[in-house]
Amino acid sequence: MKKTIVPLLSIALFFTACNGNEQTTSSNKDSTATATVDAAKDWKFGVALWTFHTFSFDQALDKVDSSGLKYIEPNTFHKAGVELKDTLVGKLSPAGIGKLKELIAKKGLTVSSIYLAGDSTLASWIHQFDIAKQLGVAFVTAEPPLNMWDSIDSLAGATICSFCNPIFCFQ
């Protein structure tokens, strides 16, 4: 008997909660929808280029451009495309990064963040942060090895702060 009462009580509470005194009118729904749309106008929607990792960089940019999005998060292990000899973004020279920026600008896209894929050396991470600086990003996404967290944290705080970009300053 007790086993039957508990489920019935739960169902009754569910219907009571769902059947509250507040009535949602059509105008309430409309104003909520309008407020949501207005708030979304301030959002900067973008895409991680990893989404198109099976395509070259310029092909990935074409796909983003066709979607109507304007913000991208490239990664340093993406092939840069035929024009740049399919070199990984993380291996490009400053001139190569400049060409990459031209490709991005030609599509009217903005790089607001980058995924850094450094390896187990601090020199690699320094190079990756230099690429982030050259691209002018506001945010960095990374997954450094656990044993390098202090080094990367220190690198981000010291190196990026010297670039005058307080977003990366952990002080």
Q: Are residues 60 and 20 in the same domain?
A: no
User: DSSP letter string over 19-60?
Assistant: T-S----HHHHHHHHHHHHHHHTT---EEEGGGGTTS-HHHH
For residues 155-161, give the mean pLDDT: 53
Q: Are residues 66 and 144 in the same domain?
A: yes
Q: Are residues 51 and 29 in the same domain?
A: no
Distance between CA 97 and CA 82 in Å, rounded?
14
Q: Are residues 64 and 113 in the same domain?
A: yes
Distance between CA 114 and CA 25 in Å, rounded?
44
Q: Are residues 60 and 107 in the same domain?
A: yes
Distance between CA 72 and CA 110 in Å, rounded?
6
Q: Are residues 16 and 65 in the same domain?
A: no
Count: domains in the chain: 2
Instruction: Compute the CA torsion angle 18, 21, 27, 30 (nearest 10 deg).
Output: -30
**Confidence class for position 119, pLDDT limits 50, 70, 90:** confident
Distance between CA 155 and CA 169 in Å, rounded?
10
Measured from the Cβ of residue 112, the count of other Cβ atoms closer than 10 Å reads 16
pTM listed for this prediction: 0.67
Whole-angstrom CA distances from 85 to 6, 88, 96 are 68, 9, 10
Least confident of 41-50, 100-109, 141-150, 159-168: 159-168
pLDDT tens digits, residue range 65-115?
Answer: 999 999 999 999 999 988 899 899 999 999 999 999 999 999 999 999 999
Boundaries of domain holding 163:
46-168
Q: Are residues 123 and 161 in the same domain?
A: yes
Q: Please determine, for residue 21, whether its predicted confidence score (pLDDT) is greater than 90.
A: no
Q: Are residues 107 and 130 in the same domain?
A: yes
Residue 71: enclosing H or E segment and its boundaries? strand 71-73
Mean pLDDT of the chain: 76
**49, 73 Cβ separation under 8 angstroms:** yes
